[in-house]
Amino acid sequence: MQILPTKYIECLVIVIFVLHLLYIRQNMKPHSIVKLLFALFFVQSLQAQVGIGTASLAPGSLLQLESTSAAFVMPRMKDVEMTAIADPISGAMVFNTNENLPYFKGPDGWSGFDINSNPSIILSRSNGTFSTSPTLSYPMALSAGQVVSNSSAYFSVPTWGTVKVARAGVYLLSVSLATTNMPAGNRNYFLAAYKNGALIGYLSRSRLQNPSSDYWGTTGTLMYTAEAGDEFSFRYFIAHNATLTTAFQTICITKLH
């Protein structure tokens, strides 16, 4: 229920009275009176305050809600619906049902209100095997089936070893690879990161020296910018020619800004 200030109601009564006199004395047409009344009402409402659940409005309040038994509910929609809103102005707010978070439209796009964490995706596995080659690199053996945590409004997994981002920003990329049975010998290896198919850097790159067959692993991080729709992909290279047993493989991407 809306409770309007007394001065607003008094003004509206005066406007109606004046229009009534004009109709009687000037023989104005009814539809002209309706148009004029609507215009005057609209202009006055621009300066009005609206209170719901209270008649004691603070001087600086345009809209004031008071309740001890009900909640304010903003528009609720999926991420795809939120991002499809045509030209939302800065300050617009919705509740994103994919993320279960309120979202705010700022000059750089939509941002979630979760102040306790950054959007992230984690892919991980601790089983299976992976291939090696003296000359070839391979995509990380992680796909949508290995997602263990995901801010789905920000990330998707279109193919093996690849993560697509839905928002522009700065991202922290982290990748790990380990095996339980690295054979003895000296061999080169690397973990590489790509954006839209172009190499952007090595998360880890060196030469291992194994005196005997043993557990072995490597990890690395890289910070990089991306635009909405960009894809980060990750590949590994180990100069060997046999299948190795996976101890673990992980990809973790966190949106920092």
Question: If one looks up domain 120-255 in CATH, what number appears?
Answer: 2.60.120.40
DSSP state of 231: E
- Enter the tokens of residue 238: 């180990």
Instruction: Parse the chain into domains and list their residue ranges.
Output: 2-65, 76-112, 120-255
Q: Report pLDDT digits (tens) over 96-142.
A: 998 788 988 988 788 877 655 789 999 999 999 999 999 999 999 99
- Enter the tokens of residue 199: 């190499």
Q: Report pLDDT digits (tens) over 194-203.
A: 999 999 999 9
**Strand 2-3 with 50-52, pairing:** antiparallel
Q: Helix, strand, coil shares of the chain as percentages rounded to 5?
A: 20, 45, 40
Question: Secondary structure of 64-117 in the HEC alphabet?
Answer: EECCCCCCCCCCEECHHHHHCCCCCCCCCEEEECCCCEEEEEECCEEEECCCCC
Task: Using the structure block, give the residue that is written with the tokens 């300050």.
Answer: 91
Q: Report pLDDT digits (tens) over 74-102.
A: 999 998 999 899 999 999 999 999 878 89
Q: How far apart are CA 151 and CA 205, in angstroms?
A: 30
Q: How far apart are CA 144 and CA 164, in angstroms?
A: 11
Q: Report pLDDT digits (tens) over 30-69.
A: 555 555 445 444 444 445 778 888 878 888 888 888 888 9
Asked if residue 207 lies in contact with residue 188, where contact means CB atoms within 8 angstroms, the answer is yes
